[in-house]
Amino acid sequence: MPAVRSGSPSFPPRRRRGLALAVTAVLLAAVVPGAAQPTGPGGPPVAPGSSFGLDDAPARYEILRVAVDPGMPPLQFVDSGGRPTGFFVDVCLAIGEAEGMAVALYPMDRRRAEAALSAGVVDAILGATYSAGAQEGAAGLPISEPLLASAVAVVSKAGEPRYADGMARLADGVLALRRGSPAYDFLKAIRAVRFNETTNPSDALDLLVMGRADAFLEDRAVASYLLRGRPDAAGFEISSSYWLPVEYGIAVRPGQEYLLYRLNQGLGAIKESGAYSVARERWFGDSERAAMLRLRNALAAFAVALGVIVIGGGGTVWWNRQLASRVRSSTAELRSANEQLERLVGDAEDKKEFIAQILESSPRGLVTCGSDGLVSVCNARAREIGLLSPDPVGRHFSEYPFLSRFLAGGRMERVLSGEAFPFETVEWHRPDGTRLYVRSGLYPQVDHARAVVGVIFSFEDHTTEKAMLERLAERAKDEALGRIVAGIAHEIRNPLTSIKAFVELLPRKMNDPRFLREMGAYVPREVERVDKLIRDLIDFARPRKPKRSVVDIGSLVGSSIALLAPSLAKRGVAMESGSRPGMLASVDADQVRQCVLNLVLNAADAVEDARSQREGDPGSGSDDPGSGGPDIVVSTSASEAAIRVEVRDRGRGMDEATLARVLEPFYTTKRGGVGLGLPLSKQYVEENGGRLELSSAVGVGTTVAMVFPLEGR
């Protein structure tokens, strides 16, 4: 069994989702006996976990398996207790909680992580890098929106002037860096640069300390964290903290667009709820606030010094020297605080430019408006789809027909009041005559205090996708129609063949009494068979409106079972009924009775079919599924809101392929069957406000249940 840690960090409650049922487990190692274990390069087997399903079956998503780098503190690392932790880990757990996904964390280096992702052992790589100017994420993989925007810093010995200008003089010395880091990927193709590579940043810093390197290149957050933990930290300094911009996200396998969408949606949710800010404060602290506090303290100290000078203007030389020392100290603090503020301003400008690049390269159109209706943001894709020319930024949205189509008519006011309009698809005729299907969403824009200050309008061109879906639906409809026509032709041809045979023999056997008796018996029966088929087909294609009234379902089922009991006893089918009176529902009694009869007769046919199969195979007698109990069990039960009528048989059962088609018209596995019984029963149940549920297993039997809402619910 793998070692498991459960739990997640404490974050504020989600505004969009209630308390998510995300369960977080960190799997450190796992080996499945007898199974071939996938491995990373040069490493032990990796725990397989539970895989995500295909994007067209999101209900199968159970657990998100994430590869975590064990050696990048404070972003992601393994603590002294062997548990993954760090800022990225907290953010990943918060995303899982927001999206209702369990998260399993697997510590492994970059190469093993990429191999595990390719083999399907993990579903995502945490902290994958996306450097400035790159076209794709790490290793050519799709990558989420950024978890953190940072930069590579140059760490050197204190007073070293060579690296103050960033990369200008990197070729003057030997560099220490981590293999696979953004700096490594950038510099490995430059022949003039000499460097020593290590597997983790801590070892690379040790090379600088031991004098085997002149500078250490690493993410500035990681470098600052490692320096703070060293007793000799005063002997080193960060010469350049903005040498190479870098951002981190979550990489997934190609084709996992739905998973990528879920991760981006969860990241947006935790940023809105404040959980992202809590994690950032925990690992990095509020540097801007700290700088302002130091500035305030410095100003206060300076004011005190000036006050002392004024009050003690005639003081001694010693006192003047003390004041001068205080002033110099305060001035140095002011200079330091000012420099840090300048760096923070630079950070803010970098983030602003980064966000602008994301907006302009987004495949979705994005427009934001303030509460006054003036457009504040409009990216390139929005201008292309909506033919928004001139640029609408700074103008009222009503000047543009495309924006008015989605924001006018009171919709903007409703969004400003807190309402959202997600996933809406409408038809739009552009001024150039092009018809588009636009899928859009309208959401409130909030400020840092969670107050609604505007509207976010996100949209995309859905025309191509919609045309493809319509073609698929038309093909499915044609296939269904073909099956129905073939079934009708088959069912009508059989009785007509019998009637035709009698008609052809009639001139020659007109005086044969036996022939006339057989003709009088068979022909009306075949005509009745055709008539019943046509009536059932009409009921299925054009059902009559049910005549609903309040009915005691238990009594109705009991009376229906009583009608069938004698015939089932003659057929040797044992039936048990657990229906009880007192459960009321508003239904058409005749339709529900017909459904009960259909389901019980189908169950009896299945039992006889299984019995015939066992009699033909004497060696299977010990595996008789009907031994030790009744062949058919009919039960009626009630919950707080619904009544459930269940018919369970111990017949042969159905495989998955048969179960998937059993409700199709004219599909049957019974000899002499028509294939309209179950489709009609399903239609009757749904017309009476209920639903039909089926489950089956080969060798076990089949269970069919009708569920109706209780009267008054």
Write out pLDDT tens, residues 235-273.
888 876 656 788 999 999 999 999 999 999 999 999 999
In a domain, 476, yes or no: yes
Percent helix, strand, coil in the chain, to 5, is 45, 25, 30
On whether the CB atoms of residues 47 and 29 are closer than 8 A, the answer is yes
CA distances from 450 to 5, 6, 298, 443, 536 (A): 34, 31, 33, 13, 60
Residue 278 included in any domain: no
pLDDT of residue 312: 58
User: Encoding tokens for residue 583?
Assistant: 């459960």
The answer to whether residue 284 is domain-embedded is: no
Q: What's the pLDDT at 105? A: 95
- Report the CATH number at residue 634: 3.30.565.10
Amino acid at 8: S
- Cα(227)–Cα(622) distance, integer angstroms: 74
Residue 386 lies in a domain: yes
574 and 660 inside one domain: yes
Domain shared by 356 and 368, yes or no? no
pLDDT beyond 60 at 286: no
524 and 576 belong to one structural domain: no
Same domain for 644 and 679, yes or no, is: yes
Whether residue 457 has pLDDT greater than 80: yes
- The residue from 108, 123, 138 where one domain ends is 123
Least confident of 66-80, 524-538, 658-672: 524-538
| 57 vs 104: CA distance, rounded Å | 21
Residues 354 and 377 in one domain: no
Is 101 a domain residue? yes
User: Which one-letter DSSP state was computed for residue 367?
Assistant: E
Strands 84-85 and 76-78: antiparallel
Nearest CA to 457 out of 397, 401, 410, 395 is that of 397
Q: How confident is the model at residue 54 (pLDDT cuts 50, 70, 90)?
A: very low
Average pLDDT, stretch 639-658?
88
> By mean pLDDT, which of 248-262, 333-347, 620-634 is the weakest?
620-634
Total domains in the fold of the chain: 6
The mean of the pLDDT values for the chain is 78
Q: How far apart are CA 289 and CA 535, in angstroms?
A: 80
Q: 177-191, 227-241, 303-317: which range is least confident on average? A: 303-317
Q: Are residues 117 and 9 in the same domain?
A: yes
Q: What was the pLDDT predicted at 15?
A: 34
Final residue belonging to a domain, choices 508, 541, 574: 541
Q: Are residues 558 and 705 in the same domain?
A: yes
Q: Which two tokens stand for residue 712?
A: 């008054």
Range 156-164 average pLDDT: 79
pLDDT at 483: 56
Lowest mean pLDDT among 90-99, 214-223, 517-526: 517-526
What 3-state DSSP class applies to 495? helix
Q: In 389-547, where do the E strands start and end?
A: 421-429, 435-446, 452-461
Lowest mean pLDDT among 133-137, 227-231, 467-471, 511-515: 133-137
pLDDT at site 674? 65
Q: Could you tell me the residue range of the domain that residue 668 belongs to?
A: 549-615+625-709
Does residue 401 sit within a domain?
A: yes
Pair 232, 182 in one domain: yes
**Rounded mean pLDDT of 524-532?**
72
pLDDT value of residue 541: 52
- The arithmetic mean of pLDDT across residues 176-199, rounded, is 81
Q: What is the CATH number of the domain that holds 428?
A: 3.30.450.20
Please tell me the least confidently modeled range out of 73-82, 180-189, 477-486, 590-599. 477-486
Mean pLDDT over 83-105 rounds to: 94
Domain presence at residue 261: no
Q: Does residue 606 share a domain with residue 594?
A: yes
Q: Are residues 63 and 104 in the same domain?
A: yes
Does 109 share its domain with 160? no
Same domain, 408 and 356: no
DSSP 144-182: -S-SEEEEEEEEEETT--TTTTGGGGGGGSEEEEETTSH
CA distance 149 to 127: 11
- Domain end residue (candidates: 525, 541, 557): 541
- Of 35-39, 231-235, 354-358, 531-535, where does the model show the most confidence? 231-235
Q: What whole-number distance in Å separates Cα of residue 381 and Cα of residue 364?
A: 6
DSSP label at residue 396 = B
Within a domain: 253: no
Instruction: From 501, 503, 596, 592, select the one nearest 550 (Cα to Cα).
Output: 592
Residue 448 has pLDDT above 70, yes or no: yes
CATH code of the domain containing 235: 3.40.190.10
